[in-house]
Amino acid sequence: MQQKEITLFDKTFEPYLTESEILEKIKQLAAELDSFYSGKKPLFIAILNGSFMFAADLFKQLTIEAEICFIKLASYKGTKSTGHVITAIGLDTDITNRHIIILEDIIDTGKTLHEFLPQVHNQQPASLKVAVLLHKPEAKKFDVPIDYCCFTIPNRFVLGYGLDYDGYGRNLKEIYQLKPTE
Ligand code: XMP
Ligand code: MG
């Protein structure tokens, strides 16, 4: 069936990745993770809100023993010396000596994970890897080590499959791209 453009508020989005393209990549990623983490009982840490659909579909495909938890990252202004601070809400599992895989919907500038990863590192996990659904290399401002990436995409705003525009559009099964204005 031909997918259609979608209009949300003032913006129009055009179809970009189909549901089957997304699920196929996630299946391949799950197979890689299955073989690499077999016997290691890894802990997946999914970053809300955007990654909830990616995390659910990936986790359903895994066959190894694994745990998952969901966190929110809150950012606030610290003191003058600490500047901008990001804290994790909901990380109540002890991650020391655990094999950790961070699940993120999209890496854009890299700022979020650039600030959050050192905090995970400080808690001395046995290993730490990052798996992302989407990566926009052209938007990069901060270095983030990306171990697994489903799709490398151009620097255009995307919507659907967990990703929102002003809170809406997360329920779309496909991923849409902001239509360039003529
Ligand atoms: P940074 O710049 O820290 O951004 O790598 C990561 C977070 O920014 C959000 N983001 C988007 N959300 N469509 C969205 O719906 C996009 O194209 C987009 N680009 C960045 C997202 O919440 C991600 O976790
Ligand atoms: Mg968002």
Protein residue with least CA distance to atom 2, ligand 1: 109
The string of pLDDT tens digits covering residues 110-163 is: 999 999 999 999 999 999 999 999 999 999 999 999 999 999 999 999 999 999
- Ligand 1 neighbour 102 (Cβ under 6 A): no
- Of residues 72 and 92, more confidence is placed in 72
User: What is the band of 1 on the pLDDT scale with cuts at 50, 70, 90?
Assistant: low
Pocket test for ligand 1, best of 105, 143, 151 (most atoms within 8 A of CB): 105
Which domains does the chain carry? 13-175 (3.40.50.2020)
d(CA 13, CA 98): 40
Q: Using CA positions, which residue lies closest to atom 23 of ligand 1?
A: 106
Q: Quick check: CB of 73 below 6 Å from ligand 1?
A: no
Tell me the mean pLDDT in the region 94-108. 97
pLDDT reported for residue 173 = 98
Place of tokens 């979608």: 6
pLDDT at 7: 97
Between strands 148-152 and 127-135, the pairing is parallel
Q: Which atom of ligand 1 is nearest to the CA of 111?
A: 3
**Active-site residue (options: 57, 105, 108, 166):** 108
Confidence (pLDDT) at 125:
98
- Kindly report the average pLDDT of the chain as a whole number: 94
pLDDT at 42: 98
**166 included as an active-site residue:** no
What pTM, to 2 d.p., does this model score?
0.95
Q: Give the pLDDT confidence of 80-95 residue by residue, as tens digits.
A: 666 677 889 989 899 9
CA of 107 to the centre of ligand 1 (A): 6
Q: Is 114 in the pocket of ligand 1 (CB under 6 A)?
A: no
pLDDT of 11 higher than 60? yes
Indicate the SS3 state at residue 43. Answer: strand
Q: pLDDT for 40-50, tens place per residue?
A: 999 999 999 99
**pLDDT at site 179:** 96
pLDDT band at 2 (very low <50, low <70, confident <90, very high): low
- Burial 64-97, CB ≥16 within 10 A → b, else e: eebebebbebeeeeeeeeeeeebeeeebeeebee
